[in-house]
Amino acid sequence: MGRGERYLIVITKNKSSVVLECIDSFSMKNFWSEAELNGATCKRILIDDFYPAYRGYRYFDMRNPTTHKTFSVAEIIEILDAPLEEHVEAENLFGGNIFH
């Protein structure tokens, strides 16, 4: 892939997932490694896979400076580790649709 390549990964733990779009392959590898160190599994997807397969999943765009500044893989893993019955409360904090 060349110019205009997008770097999307799905981070999954405990049957819950989020989609993360990274700035470049280097940042994607860093987020991927951090997620796996915390017990999550990761899968790279193409933008063509995002619709319809991952439509509705919580999406974090690391190309956005504000998201990049405030995002934490560790916090997302902590939420994914919570028992499913606690996810409703956590979803409300993130605006819904974080867990699938």
Written as tens digits, the pLDDT of the chain (100 aa) is 456 899 999 999 988 899 999 999 999 999 999 999 999 999 999 999 898 899 888 899 999 999 989 989 998 888 888 765 555 555 555 554 444 4
Longest Cα–Cα distance in the chain: 43
Q: Which two tokens stand for residue 100?
A: 């699938």
pTM, two decimal places = 0.77
Q: Residue 7: what pLDDT?
A: 96
- If we measure between CA atoms, which residue out of 95, 92, 83 comes closest to residue 16? 83
20 DSSP β-pair partners: 9, 60
Q: Residue 90: what pLDDT?
A: 53
Q: Residue 86: what pLDDT?
A: 53
- If we measure between CA atoms, which residue out of 86, 93, 95 comes closest to residue 16? 86
What is residue 87's DSSP assignment? H
Q: Residue 38: what pLDDT?
A: 93
